[in-house]
Copies of this chain bind each other. A is one copy, B any other.
Amino acid sequence: MNRGFLIVGNKAVTKPFSLNDLAGSAGRMDILCRFVAQALFISHGIRKNVEVYLLLLGEPKPPKAIKIVGKEVKTMAPDERNIAGLIRKALKIECNKNWKRSTSGIYISKKNLKKLLDELTNRYKIVYLKETGKDIRNFVKQIDKDCLFILGDHLGLSEEQERIVKDYASEVISVSPISLQADQCVVIVHYELDRSTI
């Protein structure tokens, strides 16, 4: 089964940025890079059945959405700087509401959260990951459709973003008894799905 992951980067900049300051002037782009790495990579390889979506809402031209398709990605390493370089390259493209290809497997558009979910809801069951949700360990036992998991960055989702997500999400799921970073949640989702399906 396919798996999708979407993170909302509230401060992630929407223009090319310095690779030497991902956590600062790039608007916590480091969080998004780790999110991509943990969604796509296993030891010595990439998960072909994964799509990653990054919603960038920082200055100067929000929103921008980036789509990364595991089965198409050719040149990516799991370190933050490498992934950041590919995001930066995509941000150099003049984009509109349709997906434009940047490098192999990486696309960019001007879609906002609602437009993204309009598109994704046809292919995925939308799952909102939140500390207060139901235990993932019960949830994975009953999955019957490809799922897309939505997470916030270090700021979480705003009330408005959460309202939109809840319009589309059929489930609110929690991955841990303690509050974790977004990329750690991704690792746990993969782990629970791997255990229940492999």
Chain A residues with a Cβ closer than 8 Å to the other chain, count = 33
Hey, which chain B residues are within 8 Å of A37, CB to CB? 34
Each complex incorporates copies of this chain amounting to 2
A75 CB → nearest B CB, Å: 13
Residue of B38, B41, B176 near A191 (CB, 8 A) is B176
Residue of B82, B154, B184 near A38 (CB, 8 A) is B184
Hey, which chain B residues are within 8 Å of A176, CB to CB? 191, 194-195
Does the CB pair A22–B198 fall under 8 Å? no
Does the CB pair B79–A23 fall under 8 Å? yes
Does the CB pair A43–B80 fall under 8 Å? no
Most buried by B among A41, A177, A188: A188
Does the CB pair A181–B42 fall under 8 Å? yes
List A residues 2-33 near B (Cβ within 8 Å).
19-20, 22-23, 30
Does the CB pair B78–A30 fall under 8 Å? yes
Does the CB pair B43–A180 fall under 8 Å? yes
Hey, which chain B residues are within 8 Å of A43, CB to CB? 154, 179-181
Complex CA distance for A81 and B83, rounded to whole angstroms: 13
Complex CA distance for A78 and B179, rounded to whole angstroms: 15
Most buried by B among A177, A178, A184: A184
Known: A22-B81, A79-B30, A184-B187. A177 touches B194 (CB 8 A): yes
Hey, which chain B residues are within 8 Å of A77, CB to CB? 23
Hey, which chain B residues are within 8 Å of A180, CB to CB? 42-43
Does the CB pair A178–B198 fall under 8 Å? yes
Which residue of chain B has its CB nearest to the CB of A177?
B198
Does the CB pair A79–B22 fall under 8 Å? yes
Which residue of chain B has its CB nearest to the CB of A28?
B79
Complex CA distance for A181 and B40, rounded to whole angstroms: 11
Given contacts A30-B81, A42-B178, 5 further A-B contacts (CB under 8 A): A19-B20, A44-B179, A175-B191, A178-B194, A184-B187
